[in-house]
Every structure is written in C-alpha cells, then in structure tokens.
Amino acid sequence: MKQIKIQGGNLLSGTIAISGMKNAAVALIPAAILCDEEVTITNVPNISDKYALIEIIKLLNGQVTDQDATLKINTSDITSEIIPESLASKLRASYYFMGALLGRKKHVEIYFPGGCNIGNRKIDFHLKGFQLLGATVEEMEDKYIIHAEELKGTNIHLDFASVGATINLMLAAVKAQGKTIIDNAAKEPDVINVAEFLNNMGAKITGAGTNTITIEGVDYLHKATIEVLPDRIEAGTYLILGALIGENITITNIVKEHLSALLTKLIDAGVKMDIKENEIIIYGRQKLKAINVKTLVYPGFVTDWGQPMSVLLTQCEGSSIFEETIYENRMGHVPYLNKMGANMTLKNQTIKIQGPTPLKGQDVVASDLRAGASLVIAGLIADGTTLINDAEHILRGYERIVEKLTAVGAKLELIDIN
Ligand code: EPU
C-alpha cells in the first residue's frame, strides 16, 4: 500500500509539463493488437495502468519495448485471446482488448474489467455493438466470451455518447466487412487520437470528433506511429492547484481547446491567467467567487475534473453548486474534504459548497483516482500535515506526481508501507 504525505501551505511557482493523456494511451496500447506489423506510440505517460496493459500484450505473446515514453509493439505473432482475471481486473481499460481482439482474431475471452469504483459502469453498449457487428457474447459468472465467424459492418446507435463504447466499437469494426456507422458517438479527444492511430495504419475512419463516425472495413493494417495527445485531466488538475496556491505557475504541453470548459469556469470564479495555444500561466491567490459547475460529455465540463474542482469551490466566496451527471458514485472525496474543514452538503450527485473555509491537514483516504487528486490539492492548500492513504489510485493516472509538484515547491513524499 502507498501513502502520500503532504506538508501544506507552500506557495508554488515554476513550470509543470503535462504528460500524454491516460485515457487515450490506455486505448492506443490495446489498439496496437489490430496492426499486422509493428507500431510506435510516443508520449506515453509513465503511469501504473501502462504496465498492466503491457503485461497483457506480452501474455498474448506480443513484443513490447518501452523506452523514454515510447512504446514499440509488435503483435503480428499473437497466439492467445484469453485475458486472465489477475490482469483484466487491474484496470477499466482492459475492456479495449475486447474490441481489439475481436477485430483481429474474431475471438476473445476476458474476465470482468476493474477500475475506479465510481458507479455502475455498465458495458452494455459495447456488448450490444459487438452483437450488431455479428458477434455472439456469452456472459459467464466472471468473464465474457465473445466470438464471431465474421464481422459485418452495420449501423450502431449509442443511447449515450460513451467514450469507452465508441472506441471499443471502432476497434471491432475496423477490420469488419463493409461500412459501420456509429451514431451519437463520443466526441472526446481520446476518440480522435485512437481514430488517427488506426487511420495511420491504413484504416478508413471518418467523422471522429463528431456525432457520427463512419468506418469502412479494411483487411490489413500496416506499420504506423502515433503521439499520445496531452492529458487534459492532468492539465486541469494542475491548473486548479495553480489557481489556489500558485504564485506564478506555467502549465506547458497543453491543447487550449481541450480545456475550454474548465478555463471558462476558472475565469468566472475570478482566476487570472495568460492563456496561449500550448501553455497557460496562472496567477493564483486571487479572491474567488462562488460559481456553479455541472459535468457533461465533451466539449462540456469533464467529469474527471469534478473532484479537483470541488476543492477550488471550497475557497470561493459564497455558495457554489457542483453537479455530477455522468457517474452515480463519484463523491468519495466529500467526507474527507469536510473532515479537513470544508462546508459541503451532499445530496444525490449534487454538492452545495459554502466558502471560503480554511482547510486543515488530516488523515484521509483516496477512494478513487480523481478523489485522490482532489485530496492532493486539498492537502497542499491546507495548514499542517495531510496523510493520503490508498495513494496507489493516484499513481494510476498521474505521471510522477510527487516529482512534478516537488519541482514547483510543494512539500510531499510518497511512502511505501508494504
Ligand atoms: N455507460 C453505460 N453503458 C455502457 C457504457 C457506458 O451505461 O456500455 C454509462 C456509464 O455507466 C457511465 C457513462 O455511460 O455512467 C459514461 O461512460 P463512458 O463509457 O463514457 O466512460 P468510460 O469509458 O467508462 C472513460 C474514462 C473515464 C472518464 C469517462 C468520461 C477510461 C478508461 N475511462 O470511462 O476516466 O471519466 O470516459 O470521459 O478511459 C478517470 O480517468 O478517472 C476516468 C474514470
């Protein structure tokens, strides 16, 4: 088990460079399975989810080299289509091996995916889409067996613009016979990054980033390279931190348009920033005013920014409302922020936050990845010492978080208590 110990109250200044996007990287790595030759993925974040995915590829008899944020993956000789429980349950994104292996081998046996416990997180749209493409889906007690004699292009309407389902169905359809149209597709940059990778291999995908994605099936996918886009969730987390306790923090390696919904809210709250195309200088410690925030699909306010943002709202003058609309159970941070001195009232998936309230260091628990990130921010702005238990959740999604924050003047350490 890991803990992060934080001595709060230090002002931060300097530069934080944003790493590659976790939620794109965790789809790009399984997507490599579809390629009949070697692929290269650059700007891969060094997070624990990456290691779990590499382990799966190696288990399937794929070759992987991992050097300086670049992965070279060759799965031309993969022999297995079975992913055991010990690996599938390590992360949510193991479900991308469903689409990838189905597309490549027409067969996959995979134990239930793991990941943060933030709601129901059903995968019914993925499974229904595989069936529409011609696969049979058997749901056993603890695993799925998905098989197709052949996959045929079809029309798939998603009831909700799910990021995971959109990507998984693109993966399954890319080598199907004929044309697949995914309607009400997710428009997130993660989807665009994966479509670009597949197109670089010779796939014929149009419309990624819009509501309707069209995929013309192809037989062979060749050698290709892709760069993982910058992580807008990591950038958002550090922007929120900078707004609270940054003297002068520069966040580099960003894509400004991916951050629009967050930047608008920060400006509304009174945060001062110098926003450029690839970097943002943030001048924290302004007087902030209460605002309302509601999570939505892209280009709306991303659910993954919600927990960090709620810490900012504890420091705004007046009464703010934060509403989570994507997941049913993404409020694990609230009792701990209240323990630290916040005034948050939770009802269903809405928090009323009365601010500003000073925060005090406490022993807390990271219930999930972004809850953990919110507690890091809270610990850094609090008086005294905060000890975050179950900190391994945080390392699943933030590359070298302790080192990056130490470099801008934060006092924190990672403790291994195994
Ligand atoms: N949903 C269904 N059925 C489905 C698929 C989704 O009901 O078949 C529901 C989910 O239960 C959820 C909503 O639709 O309520 C959104 O799910 P979506 O499929 O969009 O999300 P996801 O693929 O499970 C990815 C990221 C999440 C991120 C969301 C939204 C990965 C591995 N996970 O999840 O990331 O919050 O998209 O952007 O890419 C995180 O990084 O902390 C994280 C949770």
116 counts as catalytic: yes
What pLDDT shows up at residue 348? 92
Per-residue pLDDT band at 114 (split at 50, 70, 90): confident
What integer is the mean pLDDT of 6-10?
Answer: 96
Q: What residues form DSSP beta bridges with 110?
A: 83, 144
What pLDDT shows up at residue 219? 97
Task: Write out pLDDT tens, residues 188-232.
Answer: 999 999 999 999 999 999 999 999 999 999 999 999 999 999 999
Distance (Å, whole) CA 222 – CA 64: 17
Task: Write out pLDDT tens, residues 367-410.
Answer: 999 999 999 999 999 999 999 999 999 999 999 999 999 999 99
Say how many C-beta atoms besides its own lie within 10 A of residue 76's C-beta.
10
Distance (Å, whole) CA 33 – CA 29: 8
Per-residue pLDDT band at 239 (split at 50, 70, 90): very high
Task: Write out pLDDT tens, residues 339-377.
Answer: 999 999 999 999 999 999 999 999 999 999 999 999 999
Q: What is the mean pLDDT of the chain?
A: 96
Please state the atom number of ligand 1 nearest to the C-alpha of residue 298: 38
Which residue in 59, 37, 26, 13 sits closest to 225, CA to CA? 37
Name the closest-CA residue to atom 4, ligand 1. 123
3-state SS record for the chain: CEEEEEECCCCEEEEEECCECHHHHHHHHHHHHHCCCEEEEECCCCCHHHHHHHHHHHHCCCEEEEECCEEEEECCCCCCCEECHHHHCCCHHHHHHHHHHHHHHCEEEEECCCCCCCCCCCCHHHHHHHHHCCCEEEECCCEEEEECCCCECCEEECCCCCHHHHHHHHHHHCCCECEEEEECCCCCHHHHHHHHHHHHCCCEEECECECCEEEECCCCCCCEEEECCECHHHHHHHHHHHHHHEEEEEEECCCHHHHHHHHHHHHHHCCEEEECCCEEEEECCCCCECCEEEECCCCCECHHHHHHHHHHHCCCEEEEEEECCCCCCCCCCHHHHHHCCCEEEEECCEEEEEECCCCECCEEECCCHHHHHHHHHHHHHCECEEEEECCHHHHCCCCCHHHHHHHCCCEEEEEECC
What integer is the mean pLDDT of 273-302?
Answer: 96
* Full-model pTM: 0.97
Please state the atom number of ligand 1 nearest to the C-alpha of residue 124: 8
Does any ligand 1 atom lie closer than 6 A to the CB of residue 373? no
Residue 90 pLDDT greater than 90, yes or no: no
What integer is the mean pLDDT of 136-165?
Answer: 96
Does any ligand 1 atom lie closer than 6 A to the CB of residue 393? no
Residue 118 pLDDT greater than 90, yes or no: no
Residue 418 pLDDT greater than 80, yes or no: no
* Set 116, 215, 269, 395: catalytic member: 116
Does any ligand 1 atom lie closer than 6 A to the CB of residue 295? no
Please state the atom number of ligand 1 nearest to the C-alpha of residue 93: 32
